[in-house]
Structure 1
Amino acid sequence: MATYPTGKPTLDTYAAIVSTFSDFLTVAIHTILYERNIYPPTSFLSARKYNYPVRQSRHPKVCKWIQDAVSAVEVEMLKCTIARTSLIIYSPGLHPLERFIFSTASFPLISPTESLTPFEPRPDLPQTISQDPQPPPEPTCQPPTSVPLIDLEEQFRAIFSRLSLLSRALSPLPPHCSFTLAVELREQVPPPIGHPQPWIPAQPRLQPAGRGGREAMGDGGEEYEGQRVGRGSDLGG
């Protein structure tokens, strides 16, 4: 049985939190592809992550595509530009059938130059003695000194427990579906720039009103919306 690598036990920087989210997103994508039967069940290995049984594709090209797509998400996450990341499954006619959304809108907004800076400790609340009963002051909203990974793992296990029930909760998908990874930008965030660029504008019908969407483009993605990946000769499905 394969085992996914584990991260540091305590997350005390924004970069560490983003890296942990990237690991989680990678495992979630593998799990969804398995549960939705995008590839044959025999093409997946049994693995363990967060002390929970999960699935991992054993096809090198599938793993490489997922790794590249998640790496592109991580780059933008470190810039604090992403509000949501979605795995979208398309029908053979390229109609979106299912969307699995991972929201990071509550992640803190920090300068990219401070991604490796340890979080500041929360100031202790002053202890005062007063004859008049007064409610305690509201705690300030500051990043914690650290986030124990074990606390997140419990939440991750709960998510994978729900994902493992997808095949029973959802109707079967038609054969030869494809998929892609899309990101929804935060408000007032400029689109990714640079060349080569792993992100391209998503189709208008997939973009929520007032927000910008981007889809990951894998190797050989000549289409305007980017390469959708599914069973085919390109990935040996």
Structure 2
Amino acid sequence: MSPPSIDVLEHFKNFLFAYVSTVLYLRSIYPPEMFVEATFHNTSVYQCRSLVLCEYIIDAVEEVYTSLLRGKVKRIGILIYTTEGMQAVERHVFDVSAFRIIESNMRKGMQCEERDPLSPISLVSAGAEVSFASEPSILQTTKQGRLDEDTPPDLSEQFRAALIMLVNRCKSYTPSATSYSFHIYMELKSDENAHLLTQGSERWVSAHSHGTEAEENSTDDGTDSHKKERVSKVIRAVNYPPISFEVWVETF
């Protein structure tokens, strides 16, 4: 049986997968017919039906998980931006700096392949297999049953509260005709620069968990170009050792 600390980290990985997928639905990054509604920790989430996109998210989340095992990650981000002009419009930030480092003897036998965190994840083949349960109320992949199975009740309730708050924070969103895309990225403890897990070049800017601020934008020569307001709203703090994190959403 896996060590309890690794089990808890697995639960966080599954939560992150559901969170990313649900954000893409709530923010209309892709057409709603591409998603299926599912029950996860006794609340509604959404999973993409696209085989390519679903595996793409899974690959990104696995990269985050591998880095978390090594105790390297300070923050995880989901950045939503316009496809024309690459203008950031929203960012979901997970501060995971308080995660306890998984001891090396717990990781023996686990294959954690080193890779350049700046290199993009390759898209999987369109024929890749991602299955859904016979009923759309169960979120699952081919290698696992229900992704919320065996989650400790206290942790499950905290995940549920975070997902409900995510929906509440996003429900006032009005879709526009603008086309959007997204990045999943990490800020590592040893490097203050963003390490992207998906293609793109958006630079990480340190975030705050609440309040409103004016963010300085600079031109290539370092001069100030303009200011824009960034509003941050807390989604939820989750504490279940060895994981302890806060997630918030920033809008620009």
TM-score between the two structures when normalised by the length of structure 2: 0.57
Closer/same/farther in 2, CA of residues 15 and 199 from structure 1, 3 Å limit: farther
Partner of 2:81: 90
SS of match in other structure, 2:171: helix
Q: 1:43 to 1:114 in 2, by over 3 A?
A: same
Which of 11, 16, 28 does residue 37 from structure 1 map onto? 28
Counterpart selection for 1:102 from 84, 94, 97: 94
Residue 115 of structure 1 and its aligned partner are, at CA, apart by 4.3
Q: Decide whether aligned partners of structure 1 residues 112 and 96 sit closer, same or farther in structure 2, where only a CA change above 3 A counts.
A: farther
Tell me the distance in 1 between the aligned counterparts of 2:72 and 2:28.
32
Cα distance, 1:79–1:190 mapped onto 2, change above 3 Å: farther
Distance in 2 between residues matched to 1:47 and 1:199, nearest whole Å: 25
* 1:21 equivalent in alignment to 2:8: no
Q: Distance in 2 between matches of 1:96 and 1:16?
A: 34
What secondary structure does 1:175 align onto? Answer: coil
1:169 aligns with 2:172: yes
- Of 140, 152, 155, the match for 1:152: 155
Whole-Å separation in 2 of the counterparts to 1:85 and 1:190: 12
Distance 1:112 1:191 in 2: 25
Q: 2:44 aligns with which of 27, 42, 53?
A: 53
- Secondary structure at the residue paired with 2:77? strand
Total equivalences in the alignment: 165
Other-structure match for 2:184: 181
Pairwise CA distance, 1:191: 9.8
Q: Can you give the 5+ residue segments of structure 1 that lack an aligned partner in the other structure?
A: 1-7, 117-146, 210-237
Which whole-Å CA distance do the structure 2 matches of 1:31 and 1:22 have between them?
A: 14
1:148 deviation in Å? 6.5
2:200 & 2:33 partners in 1: Cα distance? 34
- The aligned counterpart of 1:206 is 204
Partners of 2:31 and 2:199 in 1: CA distance: 29
AA of the residue aligned to 2:75: R
Question: Contact 1:85 / 1:181 at 8 angstroms: preserved in 2?
Answer: yes
Matched, 1:70 2:70: no
2:155 aligned partner, one-letter code:
L
In 2, Cα distance between equivalents of 1:114 and 1:90: 38
**Pairs within 5 Å for 1:127-146:** none
- Structure 2 Cα separation of the partners of residues 95 and 103 of structure 1: 23
How much has 1:105 moved relative to structure 2? 1.3
How far off is 1:201 after superposition?
9.5
**What is the match of residue 81 of structure 1?**
72
The answer as to whether partners of 2:77 and 2:184 remain within 8 angstroms in 1 is yes
Please tell me the residue identity of whatever aligns with 2:187: E
Instruction: State the TM-score, normalizing by the size of structure 1.
Output: 0.60
- Aligned partner of residue 169 in structure 1, secondary structure: coil
Asked whether the 8 Å contact 1:81–1:189 carries over to 2, the reply is no
Q: CA RMSD in A?
A: 3.2
SS in 1 for 2:98: coil
Mark the runs of 5 or more structure 2 residues left unpaired by the alignment.
Answer: 109-149, 208-252
How far apart in 2 are the matches of 1:199 and 1:44?
20
Shift of 1:187: 4.4
Looking at structure 1, the residues matched to 198 and 167 of structure 2 have their Cα atoms a distance apart, in angstroms, of: 29
